[in-house]
Structure 1
């Protein structure tokens, strides 16, 4: 379970680092990502990810495309049940 949590939190961090540099709407996009991740909302996650996304999880040696990431959400859903996700955006 901990490995699954780390895997998805790292994926979230990777996505976050990719979108943090955009416009004033960053907060809304990031909130959408974490809200969708928390409830394992495949539809929302699919809308947020580009079709050619590569989720690279260096700590466990995994690279997933969009479909593989979305297919792994079942595992994530069990791991995140009852959890909370906190995040903050640091000014650069």
Structure 2
């Protein structure tokens, strides 16, 4: 799962070449990308394969979706609270006037 920029097939090919013996520095130079980017891809690949501890790509995607949904719900809650405030300001509370007969 890539957040931006490089397709997963490209990342997979780069990682395959690294595993085949190419150095990260040479790959980065040849492709015009940061060596840190390749190291990040390699680390995430190791996590996804269970070789290192950490959040897998699917877990990261799920966490991102949950955070986005939480932000959405917080925005809705804020709007609802503001609407309630406006209604309270506009409508006098019951019992504030003489009872009707």
Range class of TM-score, shorter chain:
under 0.3
- Higher-strand-fraction structure: 1
More RCO (CA 8 Å, sep 6+):
1
TM-score, structure 1 length as denominator? 0.26
More helix by share: 2
Q: TM-score, normalised by structure 2?
A: 0.24
Q: Which has the larger radius of gyration?
A: 2
